[in-house]
Amino acid sequence: MDAGRHPLIDVVSNAEVIGCEGRPGDFRVRIRKKPRYVREDKCVACGLCVDACPQVGGNEFDVGLKARKAIYRPFPQSVPATYVIDSDACLNLLGFLSEKQRLRLAKVQKIKQRKREDYQPNLLVCGHCSKACEVDAIDFDMRAEEMEVDVGAVLVAVGFMEFDARKLGNYGYGRFPNVVTSLELERMLNASGVTQGHVVRPSDMKTPKRMVFIQCVGARGEGGRPYCSRFCCMNAVKDSMLVRQHDPEVEDVTILYTDLRAFGKGFDDFVQRSRDEKSATYVRGRPAKVDHVAEDDSLEIFVEDTLGHSQERIPADLVVLSVAAAPNEGAMKVADILGIETDVYGFIARRDPAVSAVETTREGIYVAGSAVGPQVIPDCVAQASAAAARAALYLTGYRVEEEQKTVDPMDLSGPPRVGVMVCHCGVNIAGTLDVEQLASHAAKIPDVVAAETNLFACSSAGQDRLVELIKEHNINRVVIAACTPRTHEPIFQETCARIGFNPYLLEMVNIRDQCSWVHAGQTVEAQEKAKALIRMGVAKARHLHPLQAGEVPMARAALVIGGGIGGIQAATDLAAQGFPVTLVEKTDRLGGRLAKPNLKSLYPNMRPAAEVLREKVDRLKSTDARILLNTEVEEISGFVGNFEVTTSGATQETFPVGAIVLATGAELHKPRGEYGYGTLPNVLTSEELEHAFFEEEEAVPGDSEDATSRASGVGGNKRRSGERSDGKAASPFESVGSASFILCVGSRDPECFSGCSRYCCPTAIKQAILLAKRGIDTTIFYRDIRTISSGAEEMYREARGLGVLFIRIPPGEKVEVIGEKRAEGVRCFDDLLGRRVEVPTDLVVLSVGMRPRQPETDRFHDMLKASIGLDGFFLERHPELAPIETAVEGVLLAGTIQGPKDIVDTVAQASAAAAKASVFLAYDKVKLDPVTAVVDALKCRGCGTCVDICPYHAGELVESGPGVYVAEINASLCKGCGTCGSWCPSGAITCRHFTDRQVHAMIDAFFGEEVTT
Amino acid sequence: MKAVRTKPRPKRTPPKVPANWNPNIVVFACNWCSYAGADTAGVSRIQHQPHFRMIRVMCSGRIQPGFVLRAFERGADGVLVSGCHFGDCHYISGNERAVEQFEKTKNVVTLLGLEEARIRLEWISAAEGARFAQVINEFTDQVRKLGPSPLAGNGRAKE
């Protein structure tokens, strides 16, 4: 909706790209716009045509579970809201006939054959919709149009398709009616979906008693798709919970899984909740087949419970297949046209899967979301913003400054003179309500000086009439009784603003969406309701105040805190767009975790970290970004557009910035004596193993007999005690014959961090592969293998192929490291074998999780008032809609400061943060919405309730006199929710545009006339 | 000592519900979820009972006890307060504040001798058009059973 309304976004729907020439910054893209047979400029989305249409087709949005007409709106919130005719189903367009049949028909109709592409017989056998349409929007003569656009960059966001579960015959999808896909279940669970939120068995429409979810259908090996689809585990957990909450009749839900990949922020806690609430039984196993029981259409699933060590036959009434994501059919074609590559599966290929999530193989063309492979929504949104940041590099100079139109404000003072316009909306309103009577009722309300109806108030004719009306009657309050203010208020406000009529003196009354459309059968009551709503609208309008949007100047510069890979990327993207950027790094070098000796190579393609870092740092240094090393941020005050930053350390100064990107990263968990860490020399963390890889590289081969150098190897490591042999050390892996990795150290542990750290599974596997290739017997002790990043599942397979042993440890079980002076073996319960095992080992590697970096996290939390989540990481404003933003406007998050993630995701988030920051910096002023709360200093008693309550920390107590405190609300921070107004004990706070007086007047008007108090 | 005898409270006779009587219900809805949910019901043409009037505010956190009490004072038979689901609030935590306000309001409403069932708090998302309709129907029926509010008519300016 927002995109559809944005003045700078053109949505060309029902279209495809057919050509792309040129170079980055100067592409010419050819687009073929397919005919929709409904004119966008005329259609008012009333839906009369749908009622008239006699032809029924399958509804794609409800995955065929529901029917739709041949003329339809793809789904209720579609943009544009215009209807479209399915040429394959429409009787007029006859798309369902073959070319030959159409020609024959045309001959009968004696229609000359035109160009083949252009040819359409249009026999007009039906035409019900065009007769029904009141605004003549239906146009059967519409033809496909070609258009050319000149663009600087191209973003590909073609998404994915559902894997066709029919390809896996053993699950019986398509053969047995009660085997459905997760998407079909999703449509059933949706309150506005096919069954209004009830789960039913398609065979008899009864509520299933026993449900079984089968995970990884078409993913992780089956049907030739080795990758993991990322979202299905959580989706199944969520759906199982929804089903149980919604339908108590569903007695039993079983989820058959391979690994539970709850890798995202808060996902593990969610799964735990599901286990605690017993909303589902989890069985680890992949079913061999699903059998059909003919008597009652129920099903039986054959599965080996790999943890219970038994063969099971699970009966079910409904089986849900959590189907994998497959590449979009059209992705290959799009890739061909754009000249970019696809990967082996048919997804759009990334230039470098280890570092960049959004770059395709061609410069100037970027990709976002599941077009590169399955993604979860937060990652999709972050990548989309990241892609926008990269694309913006080619658009500098095209930045659109807002036009400064100055219209003299009209004089609207004096007692209220209300003008009411009642909209017919064709027959949408007028078909149910008597609009003329509504207008005459409105005319009798005190202070109403003019009331009239209009066929379509939102049309340009309607808008012109509104302007005339205002001028004719010297109106100073406008009430529009039409549709919902959520979509149409901006249109009317704009019209008002154009003539200098303060847009906040307009009130909309919703008599369509919330009256005529939903009370069609009850005309008398609906009419009464509409009258009351209009009275209420007029009552509010009387008390409306003209409001002026405030403005404060924007400091058009950005601050990036933290010089790791996230900070480097964010600073680069901002500086390359031409914004002054200051990057503050506490240490003496850039790179953070990527710098030597923290990380040697990156998964999945083993690219040397140093090379990646050099590339990124060079790129940063080629911009004008100011890099302050050995410097810390001492203090930040102010608000969006006007932050004031004070630094300490090597560079001490105070400067203004408009937006701040926090990229201080995370810390790695420091084991405290667990697993013998710190006492046994050959127990390392995963990071220390990376150090060893560097040591190995530096080691001189052939000098290995030296006993002291051997001691420095990881086999008998003493580095922490300070002994370190210089330069000529032997390979640290010289004496290592076997190695064991222990995963989830400090993650998924309620005592440290209950979430998943995401990066450790693929990192451990990468390291295991490196060791296995050196001939070391490697064992990985894991809880769930969560190889969710691109290419990681393939790495997992490679590791298994190399003989790396994977031992699953049950939840709650602690792996035991045995040995007195050095670790000699690892002992634990093998969940899959069902007995205790002991693995001799020369080296133990602890894959440590991430945790919030302290004291930075707490310091910035105090300074900026941005919230911190329960897990201690910074909290994003919304996990799906705003994963980059904090609740504090102008403060953005990049990388692991927001939660554990790997390098690809960090880089994507950093670019996204840059994009979000540039949205603020693009303007030289910050526009302040006038719908805010204001404090009456005379009434305020300085109790501070509002200060405590505001989630945006907009309130502040200031000393107005000696010992006298009053609250002040900062208009730049206030979002206008009005919560403080409802809590203020002394009634000192006015919530503009929703004042007590206005709401009271509305209540009074409901029950007759307004009571003047 | 003589025990103070308190008069037993007269039991209120169950109100007579006039035939074909329909309640007057005030619905307070937040702009982002519940009001939008009602719009969604409209777009999907999900029919429901028409005896309520919507008052839109930006956030359910804005809905103060005074609004609800004024509605009852003026003659409302029922008041529905609605907002976003927990975790979905457009203003982070406004709906959590709304719960606190609602609890307070409920106490006052019952203190006034009104039935608790005349006031209800519901979370309805922008997508839940069907749920909005269902809540409206349920609540309307619930209030209809209770009959006219004993306060209806008392606070009006003119009869």
Establish if A319 touches chain B: CB-CB under 8 angstroms. Answer: no
Question: Which two structure tokens, joined as six digits, stand for A421?
Answer: 């316009």
CA A118/CA A723 separation, integer angstroms: 82
Q: What is the DSSP letter of A513?
A: I
Phi/psi for A607 (5° steps) reads -70, 135
Alpha helices in chain B (DSSP H): 34-43, 65-74, 94-111, 129-146
Task: Please state the domain count of chain B.
Answer: 1
Q: Which residues pair with A284 in a beta bridge?
A: A257
Answer whether residue B13 is part of any domain: no
Q: Residue A443 has which token pair?
A: 């005319």
Instruction: Judge whether B151 lies within some domain.
Output: no
CA angle B93, B98, B99 (to 5 degrees): 100
- What is the signed CA dihedral for B124, B127, B129, B134, rounded to 10 degrees? -40
**Is-cis flag, bond preceding A553, omega within 30?**
no
Across the interface, do A191 and B43 touch by the CB < 8 Å criterion? no
> Could you say which residues from 71 to 110 on chain B have a Cβ atom under 8 Å away from some Cβ of chain A?
71, 74-76, 90-94, 97, 101
Look at residue A2 in the predicted model and tell me its pLDDT.
Answer: 64
**Which residue in B26, B31, B39 has the most chain A C-beta atoms within 10 A of its own C-beta, making it the best mutation to test that interface?**
B39
Query: Would you state the CATH architecture of domain A160-327?
Result: 3-Layer(bba) Sandwich (3.50)
**Which residue ranges make up each domain of chain A?**
35-143, 160-327, 418-548, 558-665+853-922, 674-849, 932-991
Residues 35-64 of B with CB under 8 A from A: 35-36, 38-51, 53-59, 61-64
Q: Residue B20: which residues within 8 A CB-CB, separation 6 or more?
A: none
Contact across the interface for A1002 and B55, Cβ inside 8 Å: yes
Q: Which chain B residue has its CA at the smallest distance from A195's CA?
A: B130
Residues of A in contact with B61 (CB under 8 A): 977-979, 982
**Which residues of B are less than 8 Å from A1007 in CB distance?**
24, 74-76, 156
Q: Report strand pairing: A418-423 vs A448-454.
A: parallel
Q: What is d(CA A136, CA A424) in angstroms, rounded to the nearest whole number?
A: 16
CA distance readout (Å), A265 to A380, A755, A897, A900, A982:
14, 7, 12, 8, 33
Largest CA distance in chain A: 105
* Regions of chain A short of the pLDDT cut 70: 1-2, 5, 58, 64, 76-77, 93-99, 102-103, 105-125, 191-192, 222-224, 397-405, 700-730, 1009-1013
Please tell me the class of the A558-665+853-922 domain.
Answer: alpha beta
The reply to whether B61 falls in a domain is: yes
> What is the Cβ-side half-sphere exposure of residue A254, based on CA atoms within 13 angstroms?
22
Name residues whose C-beta falls within 8 Å of residue B118's C-beta, 6 or more positions apart in sequence.
Answer: B72, B77, B78, B79, B109, B143, B146, B149
Region B72-85 average pLDDT: 94
β-pair partners for A154: A365
pLDDT band (50, 70, 90) for residue B8: low
Contact between chains at A1011 and B74 (C-beta distance less than 8 A):
yes
Judged by a CB distance cut-off of 8 A, whether residue A429 touches chain B is no
State CA B98 to chain mean position distance: 13
Q: What is the largest CA-CA distance in chain B?
A: 70
Distance from CA of A977 to the nearest CA of B (A): 5
Query: Residue A218 to residues A164, A183, A769, A817: CA-CA distances in angstroms?
Result: 8, 14, 26, 38
Give the integer Cα–Cα distance in Å for A560 and A160: 34
CB-CB neighbors (< 8 A) of A1002 in chain B = 55
- Give the contacts of A956 (CB within 8 A, at least 6 positions apart): A947, A967, A968, A969, A970
More confident call, B90 vs A367: A367
Which chain A positions have a beta carbon within 8 Å of B127's beta carbon? 190-192
3-state secondary structure of A256: strand
Between CA A152 and CA A268 the distance in angstroms is 42
CATH numeric code, A932-991: 3.30.70.20
B90, part of any domain: yes
Distance in angstroms (rounded) separating the CA atoms of residues A473 and A213: 66
Q: How far apart are CA A581 and CA A918, in angstroms?
A: 11
Burial A334-343 (b: 16+ CB within 10 A, else e): bbebbebebb
Inter-chain residue contact B43 with A517, CB threshold 8 Å? yes
- In B2-21, the residues whose Cβ lies within 8 Å of chain A are none
Q: What is the C-alpha to C-alpha distance for residues A293 and A682, in angstroms, rounded to an integer?
A: 57
Determine, yes or no, domain membership for B155.
Answer: no
In B, which residues are within 8 Å of A951 by CB distance? 91-94
Tokens 């083949």, located at residue: A116
* Residues 6 or more apart whose Cβ sits within 8 Å of residue A844: A675, A676, A680, A682, A683, A684, A739, A740, A741, A742, A817, A823, A826
The alpha carbon dihedral of A137, A141, A146, A148 has a sign of: negative
What Rg value do the Cα atoms of chain A yield, rounded?
33
Q: What angle do CA A136, A142, A145 make, to 5 degrees?
A: 135
H, E, C per residue of A878-895: ECCCECCECCCCCEEECH
**Cα separation, A483 vs A509, whole angstroms:** 7
Rounded to an integer, what distance in angstroms lies between the CA atom of residue A79 and that of residue A85?
A: 15
Task: Tell me the C-alpha distance between A584 and A588, whole Å.
Answer: 11
Determine the residue among A538, A540, A1007 to mutate to test chain B binding: the one whose Cβ has the most chain B Cβ atoms within 10 Å. Answer: A1007
Residue A895 near residue A875 (C-beta atoms within 8 A): no
Contact state of B64 with A982 under an 8 Å Cβ cutoff: yes
Residues of B in contact with A522 (CB under 8 A): 50
Q: Which class in CATH covers the domain with range A418-548? A: alpha beta
Interface test with chain B among A529, A979, A989, A996, by most B beta carbons within 10 Å? A979
Residue-level pLDDT at A99: 66
- Asked whether the beta carbons of residue A1006 and residue B53 sit closer than 8 angstroms, the reply is yes
Positive or negative: CA dihedral A969, A974, A977, A979: negative
Using CA atoms, how far apart are residues A325 and A847, in angstroms rounded to an integer? 30
Our measurement of the distance from residue B29's CA atom to the centroid of its chain's CA atoms, rounded to an integer in Å, reads 11
- What separation in angstroms does the CA of A923 have from each of A386, A655, A681, A931, B93? 20, 19, 57, 21, 30
Both tokens assigned to B54: 């919507």
Q: Which residues of A touch B158 (CB under 8 A)?
A: 1008-1009
**A512 near B CB under 8 A:** yes
The CA distances from residue A675 to A771, A827, A835, B33, in Å, are 21, 11, 20, 50
Closest approach of B66 to chain A, Cα-based (Å): 9
**Residue B42 has which token pair?**
């409209």
Alpha carbons A303 and A310: distance in angstroms, whole number: 9
With a CB-CB cutoff of 8 Å, which residues 863-882 of chain A face chain B?
867, 877
Interface test with B, best of A75, A433, A518, A983 (most B CBs within 10 A): A518
Quote the CA–CA distance of A840 and A509 in Å, as a whole number: 76
- Note whether A160-327 and A558-665+853-922 share their fold: yes
The two structure tokens encoding residue A229: 């689809």
A interface mutation test: which of B27, B44, B58, B72 has the most A CBs within 10 A? B58
CA–CA gap between residue B115 and residue B144 (Å, rounded): 12
For residue A76, give the nearest of B35, B44, B74 by CB distance: B44
Answer whether B45 sits within 8 Å of A520, measured CB to CB.
yes
Taking contacts as CB-CB distances below 8 angstroms, the residues of chain A near B64 are 981-983, 996
Residue in B51, B59, B158 closest to A1008 by CB: B158
CATH number at residue B121: 3.40.50.960
Show residues of chain A in contact with B47, CB under 8 Å.
518-521
Q: Do B54 and A510 touch (CB under 8 A)?
A: yes
Q: Which of A486, A528, A991 sits opposite B35 (nearest CB)?
A: A486
Phi, psi of A707, rounded to the nearest 5 degrees: -65, -35
3-state helix, strand, coil in chain B (%, to 5): 40, 15, 45
What homologous superfamily does CATH list for A674-849?
Answer: FAD/NAD(P)-binding domain (3.50.50.60)
Domain with B52 in it: 25-146
The residue in chain B having the minimum alpha-carbon distance to the alpha carbon of residue A537 is: B55
Q: How far is B85 from chain A (nearest CA, A)?
A: 13
Rounded to whole angstroms, how far apart are CA atoms B110 and B92? Answer: 30
The closest CB to that of B61, out of A532, A978, A1003, belongs to: A978
Cis status, amide bond into A930, omega within 30 of 0: no
The pLDDT of residue A926 is: 84
- Tokens linked to A844: 């133990």
Nearest to B149 by CA among B17, B5, B11: B17
| Ranges of H-type helices in A846-988 | 856-864, 903-921, 945-949, 979-983
- Tell me the count of A-B CB pairs closer than 8 A: 161
CB atoms within 10 A of CB B1: 3
